[in-house]
Amino acid sequence: MRDLTEGKEGKLILQFALPMLLGNVFQQLYNVIDSIIIGKVLGNEALAAVGASFPLIFTLISFVVGIAMGSTIVIAQYFGAKDMVRVKRAIDTLYIFMFFASVALTAVGLFASEWVFKLISLPDDVIPLAVDYFSIYSIGFVFFFGFHGTSAILRGLGDSKTPVYFLIIAMLINIALDLFFVIGLGWGVKGVAAATVIAQSGAFFTIILYLNRYHSFLNFSPLKMRFNKEIFRKSLKIGLPSGVQQTFVAVGFLALYRIVNMFGTPTIAAYTIAMRIDSFAVLPAMNFSAAISTFVGQNIGAGKFERIDRGLKSTLVMMAVVSITITGIAIIFAEPAIGLFTNDKEVIEIGKQYLYVVSAFYVVFATMFVLMGLLRGAGDTLTSMFITILSLWVIRIPASYFLSVEYGYMGIWWGIPVAWIIGLTLSYFYYKTGRWKKKAVVKHAEQKLD
């Protein structure tokens, strides 16, 4: 556990963000290797099927992830206030909620997947593969939530390193199982999904064993857990807007996939590949956003508002340098990067054009995401929700659709930076109002729990 309320702000945020960034780089590296295996061994249809499954997976898990984000902010603020009794109660409450939510989502996903794939106009030759992949993947939701919930709890307590070690091990196991199931046993997309479920379950059980042995305060004991309605209400107050936001974003990605699907399997495959590469490029912004959320949460809990502005400025400078560097790399190596996944020249050309358009605006995305992270850490998730929904549903999706009618798939790509620019503008002007400073969950006069 790490206290972020003392010390040099920029250095603390950097040290907290780097382990998360390393872990997510390995996670995305797995996704890239996974896609390379699928694309090279199983072909464009399988690649499109797995790619089309992720928006559905994201849609199902997004609401629960949003609630978990609220719980993490509550944990961070209680930790900043040194109220360890409430910290433990919040952790127990989060675990109980995520278990029952994961069971419900597995059931919903198994029954609804084929219908959703037809709804978004996935090509007929891709749907059976997508259903096969998703049906097996959804079995692992309980392990996914268990591991990522534990990781989020540790981050709220200032420990961003421990989850990384287990994530790296899980990633290596996943890759080995991918090769064995897909190439060795010939299981196709079912093998890819099975490898993921096994790796996720292993990561969850091992991190729990580690916590029980070395961190007695975080002892994971299901029979001793207590659900606290008051803390859950506070978590819900913060997390519900994030959950709604994540759900709208997820459904928005399904809507975007419907637009992409109109242009055929090569475009779907290219979009899947480009998104894999894109996910690497935006990792620094996403992890520094998470870091500043915890930083802001702990400092608001400690009543140290003066540190927040200094932390934000340091983070934005770091993000500007990193984003501009990544843009240059993405533009220079766009074609060979896409070529790692496929030998299809049409797919390579379409994916290359995506990277040319989107990568030029990474600095805009990074700035927007850092500001959103600050708002979430302050507990002002409602404003973040409205800005995200507006930029996606009012700007990005309509822009992508109407531009695609005129300019083909290039129009879809241009809708992305347009939405980022609007989102950044709204986030910045709201930040300048200072209203987010009044959203703290922790009240310092609050009586301690017995």
Which 3-state string (H, E, C) describes 385-446?
Answer: HHHHHHHHHHHHHHHHHHHHHHHCHHHHHHHHHHHHHHHHHHHHHHHHHCHHHHCCCCCCCC
Query: Could you report the per-residue pLDDT of 120-140, keeping only the tens digit for each?
Result: 677 777 788 888 888 888 888
Q: Which residue's structure tokens are 């020249």?
A: 345
Q: Which residue's structure tokens are 């209680």?
A: 78
Collect all residues with Cβ–Cβ distance below 8 Å to 45 and sequence separation of at least 6: 123, 125, 126, 129, 265
Q: What is the pLDDT of residue 230?
A: 81
CA dihedral sign of residues 6, 10, 15, 17: positive
**Other CB atoms within 10 Å distance of the CB of residue 69:** 24
Q: Which residue's structure tokens are 């802001």?
A: 296
Query: Could you report the per-residue pLDDT of 4-32, keeping only the tens digit for each?
Result: 667 788 888 888 788 778 777 776 776 67
- Cα separation, 338 vs 300, whole angstroms: 44
Query: Could you report the per-residue pLDDT of 172-213, keeping only the tens digit for each?
Result: 888 888 889 888 888 888 888 888 889 888 888 888 888 777
Q: What is the pLDDT of residue 226?
A: 82
Q: Which of 10, 25, 17, 3 is nearest to 313 (CA)?
A: 10
Query: Could you report the per-residue pLDDT of 376-406, keeping only the tens digit for each?
Result: 888 777 788 888 888 888 898 899 999 998 8
Q: What is the pLDDT of residue 2?
A: 59
Q: Which residue's structure tokens are 């464009």?
A: 44
Collect all residues with Cβ–Cβ distance below 8 Å to 119 and sequence separation of at least 6: 258
Q: What is the pLDDT of residue 165?
A: 81
Q: What is the pLDDT of residue 441?
A: 56
- Cα separation, 192 vs 137, whole angstroms: 9
Instruction: Please state the rounded mean pLDDT for residues 230-234.
Output: 80
The token pair at 20 is 């998360």
Q: Which amino acid is at 311?
A: G
- Cα separation, 273 vs 46, whole angstroms: 12
Q: Given pLDDT bands bounded at 50, 70 and 90, which one contains residue 34?
A: confident
Average pLDDT, the chain: 81
pTM of the model: 0.68
